[in-house]
Amino acid sequence: MSATTEPPAAPLVGATWSEDRRGWYFAIECPACRRRHTHGGGRHLLGADRLLGHRVAHCADPLGYVLTDPAGLIEAEVRRVTTERADALA
């Protein structure tokens, strides 16, 4: 019986909503090469946490990694953008 190797977790070090590009950008420190990689996170402000999960590494790591958000960076960014929008309307 062969053992399966699971891709490692890659906690987000940045989650940014870009108004001008109207989309999410997720940043991680790659568990394989230790460099910063970024991944697009979709165009919806709410529900970006559903876009976490397995991603292909930008380096030569064949396993890739699993994007996680244990620090709640996505939720914090949603609160920030929502507050800015509300302030702009006030």
Q: Is 61 helix (H, G, I), strand (E, B) or coil?
A: coil
Q: What are phi and psi of 74, to 5 degrees?
A: -65, -50
| Residue 61, C-beta contacts closer than 8 angstroms, at least 6 positions apart | 30, 31, 32, 33
Contact by Cβ (8 Å): 49, 13:
no
> Rounded CA gap, 54 and 10, in Å?
9
pLDDT in tens, the chain (90 residues): 445 688 999 999 999 988 777 789 999 999 999 999 999 888 888 888 888 999 989 888 889 999 999 999 999 999 998 999 889 898
Neighbours of 78 (CB within 10 A): 19
